[in-house]
Amino acid sequence: MAKMMSCFHQLQVATIAVLVFVVFPSIVQADPDMLQDICVADLAAATRVNGFVCKNNNNVTADDFFSKELANAGNTNNLMGSLVTAANVMKIPGLNTLGVSIARIDYAVGGINPPHTHPRATEIVFVMEGTLDVGFITTANVLISKTINKGEVFVFPRGLVHFQKNAGYMPASVIAAFNSQLQGTVSIANTLFASTPPVADDILAKAFQIDNKEVTEIKTKLAPKT
């Protein structure tokens, strides 16, 4: 009897594993698996799906899988002293359904990529030039941080708040890779203080333990420049 119960338990575990990894793959991966060789995104299509509809393969060209967006350093003359140049499905339509994308991030001296999250992807960065202080915060409110240099890599788990700062005396740059064609970015400060319509001042004041005047000052600084 005990042996039968053990076998039954193993069968239950195996069944659950199959359900998780086969029937419900979206639970364990960022983007669903592709079901065809290519599905180049038709970014102009009126139909909206989870991802993008495929354009006719007869109209596919090599340029659908190509980008030179990352060839040159970005302009870091801005409030944060950094610039993210994305090479995702919006720039490379051929990435549709492939579950990957990359970006280039450039940093002025002292520049930061401020705290943010990627709700749809884990990120790994490779340092091309410079020295960076990087880190992420777990849901237990624990900071995991490290200083990384040229040729080194660091991983930011999916959905966790993370950041990078140029800690050196020269401009820095990284290549960031994601396991999603469109990772999404939630910039914490901009999301809370520069949303449209705006979050009420009293909510932000209480959440950050500051007064309404300080909330207004922050909103003014982060307001989109026209």
pLDDT in tens, the chain (226 residues): 555 455 555 545 444 444 444 444 444 466 877 788 899 999 999 888 888 999 999 999 999 999 999 999 999 999 999 999 999 999 999 999 999 999 999 999 999 999 999 999 999 999 999 999 999 999 999 999 999 999 999 999 999 999 999 999 999 999 999 999 999 999 999 999 999 999 999 999 999 999 999 999 999 999 877 6
204 within some domain: yes
- Domain end (from 39, 61, 83): 61
52 and 90 inside one domain: no
* Residue 46 tokens, joined: 């009126």
Location of structure tokens 């991966």 = 29
39 and 108 inside one domain: no
Round to whole Å and give the CA distance between 183 and 89: 10
- Domain end (from 23, 42, 61): 61
* Residue 133 tokens, joined: 């202080």
Print the domain residue range for 23.
2-61
Round to whole Å and give the CA distance between 106 and 87: 14
118 and 140 inside one domain: yes
Best CA proximity match to 123, nearest among 79, 163, 96, 73: 163
Total structural domains within the chain: 2
86 and 34 inside one domain: no
Round to whole Å and give the CA distance between 7 and 64: 51
82 and 141 inside one domain: yes
Rg of the Cα atoms in the chain:
22
- Domain end (from 61, 83, 104): 61
